Amino acid sequence: MGRHADAVGDGLGRLAAHPGVLGLVGGAREACAIRVEEIPGDPASLSYAWPLVSEAIPFAVLHFLGPRHRQPDANLASTLELIGQQIGLFDARTRAEEEADRVIDGSPAVLYSMIRLPETGDLRVTWFSRNVQALTGTPFEVVRADPERWWWDGLHPADATRMEESQRGAPTAHTTREFRFRHADGHWVWIRDELRISSAPGEQPVRMVGTWVDITERVRLEEQLRHGYDRATKLPKSLVEELARVTTRSQGVWQEARKANDFASFKPWLQQIVSLKKQEADAVGYTEHPYDALLNEYEPGETARTVTETFAGLTKELVPLIAAIREFSVKAQPEILAGEFPV
């Protein structure tokens, strides 16, 4: 059975116009049934087609064999009406479910469900909405296969203990949690998780529904603000003023020294800047190296050690490459780079 009103209506029209059709049978609707051609070898019976209507729109045709009457008897008509209504309700429910799926799939919030096991009191994840794939990058089929294990496997190790305690705690009407979850490409996504009890009081097992929302950008901005405030409150006013004065005046000296290739004239200013920057590092604080405090302002999370390791790896590969290029017999022709080229 189809649910396309135009197609069904067109089909009814062609059926009514067929040479074998004996005519329409009137009733509670404009067309309660359609009598079709006689059945060869069975003069007492006819083949009927009954239009099924939902919200005043025909969506299917029910075919059946019946006795040869000018119109169906009351019981048959009532039964067919009931069948049509039930199929119409099913059709409407199916369309509503499809619309709900479209809304959920397009929503930035991921839905999920949990149950609390009465034997242990532990929470178990039972279902995720399909849009979890857009948030985490994990194919929905993988999540659906074992949502409980997938959740715990993707949780950041630093958040695991706190989440385990939350899962074992007594259920509350509304719980809010924030944690990091590993995206399929390897980076961490900050998630705000809101969980509510959906089952009736006393019902077992306790059922809960929750939402996941990506708050990675919000957390990043909060960290930037916190870092800026922390840094500003640690630096003495006198140091900030002296840094501003020296760097401003040294800018002009550096420009002139560069033109004249005269490092000696700029050296005293550079020594002052280095000294002030060491004072800044001491004021801000660091764990391993003074440069960590300065580097964190431009590359949050990076340290002198990680930068050293990065450049060491590059050096290992680039030095032999540059040596090989220098020894290569074919020399580059810079003139081929000159000129105008269509882009």
- Distances in Å between the Cα of 114 and the Cα atoms of 121, 124, 213 are 12, 5, 17
- 8-state DSSP, 26: -
- Residue matched to tokens 């209507």: 53
d(C-alpha 69, C-alpha 72), whole Å:
6
d(C-alpha 115, C-alpha 126), whole Å:
7
d(C-alpha 15, C-alpha 8), whole Å:
10
pLDDT in tens, 191-218: 999 988 887 787 777 888 999 999 999 9
Report the share of the chain in percent with pLDDT over 70: 73
Phi, psi torsion values for 112, nearest 5 degrees: -150, 165
Looking at residue 88, what is its pLDDT? 64
Instruction: Report the side by side order of strands in the sheet with 23-25.
Output: 23-25, 33-39, 42-54, 57-67
CB 123 within 8 A of CB 137: no
d(C-alpha 328, C-alpha 155), whole Å:
51
pLDDT in tens, 11-36: 445 444 444 444 443 333 444 445 55
Q: State whether residue 14 is helix, strand or coil.
A: helix
Name residues whose C-beta falls within 8 Å of residue 159's C-beta, 6 or more positions apart in sequence. Answer: 179, 180
**Whether the predicted model's global pTM rises above the 0.85 cut:** no
